[in-house]
Amino acid sequence: MHDMMASIKKTDPEMYKLIKKEFGRQQLGLEMIPSENNVSKAVLQAMGSILTNKYSEGYPRKRYYGGNQFIDEVETLAIERAKKAFKVPHANVQPYSGSPANFAVYIATCKPGDVIMGQNLTDGGHLTHGWKASVTGQLFKSVPYHVKEDGYLDLDEIKQLAEKHKPKLIWVGATAYVREFPFEELGKIADNVGAYLAADIAHIAGLVIAGVHKSPVPYAHIITTTTHKTIRGPRGGMIMVTQKGLDKDPELAQKIDRAIFPGLQGGPHDHTTAAIAVALQEDLQPEFKDYCRQIVKNSKALAKSLMDDGIKIVTDGTNNHMILIDLTSFGKGKGVFVQEALDLAGITVNKNTIPAEPSSPFYPSGVRLGTPSLTTRGMKEKEMKIIGKWIADVIKEVKDFNLPEDKEERKAYIKGFKKAINKNENIGKIKKEVIELCKKFPLYPGFDILK
C-alpha cells in the first residue's frame, strides 16, 4: 500500500493530493452513513491488484476470452465463499453493484408491465423496488407498500395489496429501516399469491452472515446484496438463489445468470470479484460475529444516548446497524440543516425521509446514521454515548433555522445558513473534540499518508 501511494504521488501529484485530502477527511471524521464502512488492507490490495487488467466475459470455464484459467479460480472461490456464508445453493458475484443486481431479478422473473411490490421510497424503501423515478417503476406496474405511524412495516396492508393486485414479484428490504425484516411473514404472503419473494439485504448482509439478523434464506426465492456496507468488502453486488427459489423454478439460477450476462452487463470486474472473496473470507472468521454484535450494541447505545438528550428516534430505537432521527419536533424539512451542520463538525450523516414525511425527499425531515464504520475502527458503547451527545448538541444549535415555504427562496436561505454555522463556536468546539477522538482510532494503524 505504501508503494502504491508512492507511485501515485510521483506519477500524478494532483490526484495524490485529492486522495490525501479524502484520507484526512475519513481519518479525522466520523463516517456515520450506515451504507459506508472501511475495508481491510487485504481488500484494498485485492482491489488494486493486476486482476484489473483482465477481460473475462462469461462465467468460469465458459468465457469468451482466452487466458482466464486463474480468473476462473478467483471467481469460483468468491462464489463458493458466498454460498457458504449465506448457506445457499447458487450465487452470482458479477453484478457491478446493488442496482444492477436488482434489475437482473426483474429480467429473470418478470415481463414489462407485470405487477411488482416493494417498500415505498419515502417510507425507507429503495429506488429499484419500483419507485416512480426509477426505470423499475416505469417498466413495471409498481404497487408500493408502507410502514405504519410507528415506523414498523404494515403487514396487514402488504397482505391486502398482494391479494388484490397479485404481483409477480415482491421485494423485502430497504435503505432506511431500523428493525428486523419480517421475512417469514412476507414469505407466506408471497406464497399465497404465487409471487417471487426477493430479499434485498444490502444493508444487513453482514449481520445475516454473523447470525445477528434473521436470514431470509428459508423464506425468499432470491437474495440480492451489495458487498460493501456490513459485509465490509468492495463496492460490488451479488445475487443468490435459495433452495426455495429452485423448488419454485428449477431454471431460476440460469435465468439469473443470463440476466446479468449477457442481459445487463459485459465483462465482470475481476479485481472486485477478488476483493469480494477476500471480504467473505474475513466474514467467515469467528471474530466477524463479535464485530457484528458490536455494531448492533453500538447502534442501540447511540440511539439511547440521542433519546436521553431529547432527540426523537423512529420506532424509539433500533435492532440493526441503523438509526433514523425524526426532526419534526423542531419543524419540517430540517434534515438538510442537520446534515450540513454535522458535516462541519466532522460527523458524516445523510438527510433522509421519515415515515409520513411532511416535506420532500430533497428537503426531508430526518437524518439517517449508522455504526458500521465506527465499529470497524474499534469504537464501543462509551464512544457512542459521547457521539450521541455531540449530535444532539449540533441539532439544537440549528433548531431555529427553518426551511422557507417558497421553493425559490430555499437555495439562498441554505447558502446563508451555511455561512452562519461556519461561525458557530459550539460546532467548532465539537469539531476539535471529534478530531481528538478519531486520532485514538486510526483507520489503518501503521499507515498514514497524512504525515
Residues carrying an active site annotation: 55, 57, 200, 226, 229, 235
* CB contact at 8 A, 116 and 102: no
